[in-house]
């Protein structure tokens, strides 16, 4: 007995049994690798799609910010004539909507946004603050392979006020 285990009738039966079980497992690792690869690809595509929508939202917010800034500086003559100038440039719903629409007409929709437009709520709540509500249609990358209606409508709100100094 020099350190090795004796091979008796029980050991032989166990070895035969092991060989029988071993044949049933062949090919199973390939299936596991395929499943894990599919899961990894889906995670990567989902992350890329979420990132693309988030970037499109930030670009839409940039456009809304610039439109609100332009609208806040759109001087409304009729409001000025009746109330004068206080601590901020007077604006009206009409002047905010008109200035924001004119500004957006000079821009093309940013990357990742197929169409955009002003939404209800664009105007002024207090006669001094311009509020721009902008909605953009954002297609979801890679989702068009699954469905034809793979897009989101993203809405952002931006406020601006032009102070008089």
The tens digit of pLDDT for each residue in 68-110 reads 999 988 876 666 666 666 677 888 889 999 999 999 999 999 9
Residue whose entry in the numeric block shows the structure tokens 């068009």: 144
- Look at residue 56 in the predicted model and tell me its pLDDT: 94
Question: Residue 157: which H helix or E strand, with range?
Answer: strand 151-161
Q: Which segment of 4-8, 9-13, 44-48, 133-137 scores lowest on mean pLDDT?
A: 4-8
136: exposed, middle or buried (Cβ count in 10 Å: 0-12, 13-18, 19+)? buried
DSSP letter for each residue of 60-76: HHHHHHHHHHHHHT---
The tens digit of pLDDT for each residue in 142-162 reads 887 777 778 889 999 999 988
Cβ within 8 Å of residue 139, ≥6 positions away: 112, 114, 150, 151
The tens digit of pLDDT for each residue in 43-52 reads 999 999 999 9
Count CA atoms closer than 13 A to 125's CA, side-chain side: 8
Name the residue ranges covered by the structural domains of the chain. 9-87, 89-164
- Which whole number is the average pLDDT over 14-31? 70
Q: How many whole angstroms separate alpha carbon 93 and alpha carbon 125? A: 8
Q: Which ranges of the chain does DSSP label H, i.e. alpha helix?
A: 9-25, 28-72, 77-83, 93-106
- Look at residue 84 in the predicted model and tell me its pLDDT: 65
- Look at residue 134 in the predicted model and tell me its pLDDT: 96
The tens digit of pLDDT for each residue in 33-66 reads 999 999 999 999 999 999 999 999 999 999 999 9
- Look at residue 90 in the predicted model and tell me its pLDDT: 82
């Amino acid at each position: 007995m020099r350190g090795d285990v004796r091979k008796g009738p029980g050991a032989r039966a166990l070895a035969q049994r092991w060989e029988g079980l071993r044949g049933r497992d062949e090919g199973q690792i390939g299936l596991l690798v395929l499943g894990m690869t599919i899961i990894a690809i889906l995670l990567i595509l989902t992350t890329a799609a979420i990132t693309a929508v988030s970037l499109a939202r930030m670009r839409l917010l940039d456009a809304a910010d610039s439109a609100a800034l332009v609208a806040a500086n759109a001087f409304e003559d009729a409001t000025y004539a009746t109330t004068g100038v206080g601590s901020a440039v007077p604006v009206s719903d009409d002047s905010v909507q008109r200035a924001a629409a004119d500004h957006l007409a000079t821009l093309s929709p940013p990357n990742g946004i197929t169409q955009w437009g002003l939404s209800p709520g664009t105007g002024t709540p207090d006669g001094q603050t311009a509020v721009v509500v902008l909605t953009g249609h954002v297609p979801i990358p890679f989702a068009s392979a699954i469905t034809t209606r793979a897009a989101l409508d993203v809405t952002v709100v931006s406020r601006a006020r032009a102070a008089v100094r």
